[in-house]
Every structure is written in C-alpha cells, then in structure tokens.
Amino acid sequence: MINPEETAQIPDFKDMKTGLVIFGIIQIIFGAFCVLMIPFLIVGMLASILSSDSSAAPMSVRMMIPGVLFYIILAAWFIWMGIGSIKARRWARALILVTSWLWLICGAAGFIFVLLFMPNIYDQIGRNEQIPQAVVTIIEFAMIGFMTIFYVIIPLAFILFYGNKNVNATCISRDPQVRWTDKCPLPVLAVSLIFVFWALSMLSMGFYSCTIPFFGFILSGAAGAAVALVAMFLFVYMAWGTYKLKINAWWCSVLLVIAWALSSVITFSRVSMLDFCEKMDFPEQQLEIMKESCMPRSFTMALFFGLWFFGFLGYLLYTRKYFTPSPNQESDSQQTPY
C-alpha cells in the first residue's frame, strides 16, 4: 500500500507519460476489437441456426449469450483501462498490472493444457468438416501463434511496462490523489479480483443448466443452482473481505479453496469431462466431435484441477502476511497478560 504522506516525496524519475498513452491506445483498440466480435458471434449463431447443412454442429443460443456478455464486459474493461492509462491514473496502473499477471498465468496454463491434452482436436475437426490436411496444419499453427501472442507475449509486455518503477512514479506524480487501489496491497487485490470473477461466473451457470461438480457427483438443475448461489455469495464476501484485509475472509478463502479442490479432484476422478459436458446440454454433434478428439481422461482432468487449485492455495498462503487481526482482537491481545 502507498502511504499518503509519501506521495509528495517522489524521487527523480523518467516521465513515462508517452508510454502510458501508447499502451492506453493499444487497450482501447483491444476493446474496439471485442466490440466488433459481438456482431460476428450473433451472425455466426444465426447462420448456424438457419443453415440447411445438417453436418455442421449447431450453436446453442442459450450457450451463446455468455460469450456475448463476456465480450461486452471485456470491451468495457479494455476501454476503461485504456482511458485510465492515458490519463495516468494510479488505479488504472494497479488494475492493469494485477489483471495482466492473472492474464499471463491463466493464458499460459490454458496454452499448456491445449498443447498437452488436446493435440488431435484440429485433425478431428478437419476430418469431420472434410478440410484438407494442409489447411488444418495452417490453422493449427495459426492458432498456436495466436495463443502465444495474446496469452503470453501481450500480458508479459503489460507486466514489464506497468511494473516499471518509472511508470509507477509517473502515475503518482500526475495523479497525487490516493485511490481505492492504494488501500490494498496488489497481491491481495489480485485475490479479491479473482473472487469477483468467480462470483460472476456463478451467475453464468444458469446458461449451462446450473451444472457444477460436487464431491464425486455432477449437480444440475435446482440442486446445482442452490450450490452456485451459495458459492456466489461466499465469493462476494471473500472479495470484499480480502480487499478490506479481514483475517476471517482470508480463512474462509483458504477453506473454500481446499473444499473446491477436493470436490473437483474427487468428481473428475470418477466422472469424465464428456459426461460433464452432456449435463451442460451441449449439442449432440459437438459432443461427438469432443468424443472423437481424444479428450483428456478423468485422471488427467483431476490432476490438472488439483494442481490449479492447490497452486492458488499456495498463493493464498503467501498473502497471509498482509492480513492482520481486527482492532478488537488487537486490543484484547494487548490486555492479555503474558
């Protein structure tokens, strides 16, 4: 956290205003690209519905809505962050730096997952759609290049730029007012934002029949909705509590992550990912493509989710040093004789 008394005592630094403007414009362009993706999704959905080609896998309107909403939120985020960067706002620099780290970690993990566990998916799609192998190879390499650029290189560039001490000093100098992001350490702010994202993800479960893994079973319908609703409220509490550096919220986060990891490992040790997608009401032709494209085995999925959640648990344990007892607890401890 930044001490307000220290904001006026900024040492000599290189002004990075030009760089902030350039990176801000880049993010606004990303936002505009996301806006353009929305009509493409809608047109593609309508074309799939109206198509007379029965061999094409139909797209579910219900499952299309979360994708459209995702691009709307992403567009608003990039444009908002881009404007904040151009104006050299401290809150923008903090949020961009934190989300870029999350972007890099999630992107790299997803990239590795696709390369290791789904290597034949493009070949299978090519056979089903009768696409020449040369074209399939070009598509595969283009997708790998795209994922490398957008999941690794771009977030890494954002991290290197916005993590630069001169960029930080420039934002403090040009935006001397203490912002809400200054009241929370950046590692903890990342945790809070993750819980916000998970809470929003629970809302999207309604578009997928409220399908959720739960300690060896796949819940859907009313039971899945009940679990998702409880999880959403817990995520909202933990997002608020971790931002406020409440120790109780930190403990709740640790316990919930452990429970969620155990639930995912147990469930995907017994249930295949294909069964999970069937419960989510994926179209039959999409399920056939997934079945023939060498989907990861249940043990592989359980291992992947276990590593992911326990990695996050390790990060939570790292952030423990930022959490302190409440004032009442501190006063009680001071009155306790030793």
At 120-177, the pLDDT tens digits run 565 555 555 556 667 667 777 777 888 889 999 999 999 999 999 999 999 999 999 9
pLDDT at 335 over 50: no
- The pLDDT score that the predictor gives to residue 197 is 92
What pLDDT does residue 47 have?
67
Structural domain of 309: 184-321
Compute the distance between CA of residue 91 and CA of residue 186 in angstroms, rounded to an integer: 11
d(CA 131, CA 4): 61
pLDDT of residue 338: 30
Let me know if residue 302 belongs to a domain: yes
Distance of CA 122 to the CA centre of its chain: 25
Report residue 336's pLDDT band, with 50, 70 and 90 as the boundaries. Answer: very low
Backbone φ and ψ for 47, nearest 5 degrees, come out as: -65, -40
Asked whether residue 251 is assigned to any structural domain, the reply reads yes
| Structure confidence by residue, pLDDT tens digits, 44-84 | 667 666 654 544 445 566 667 788 888 899 999 999 999 99
In a domain, 176, yes or no: no
Is residue 68, in this structure, part of any structural domain at all?
A: no
* pTM assigned to the model: 0.80
Among 135, 174, 122, 141, CA closest to 17: 174
Q: Does residue 153 form part of some domain? A: no
Q: How would you classify residue 172: left for phi > 0, otherwise alpha for psi between -120 and 50, otherwise beta?
A: alpha
- In a domain? residue 43: no
Q: Largest Cα–Cα distance of the chain, in whole Å?
A: 81
Please check whether residue 189 lies inside any domain of the structure: yes
Mean pLDDT over 9-17 rounds to: 78
What's the structural domain count of the chain? 1
Q: Say what the pLDDT of residue 89 is.
A: 95
218 SS3 class: strand
Q: For residue 288, is it within any domain?
A: yes
Whole-number average pLDDT of the chain: 80
Sign of CA pseudo-dihedral 78, 82, 83, 84:
positive
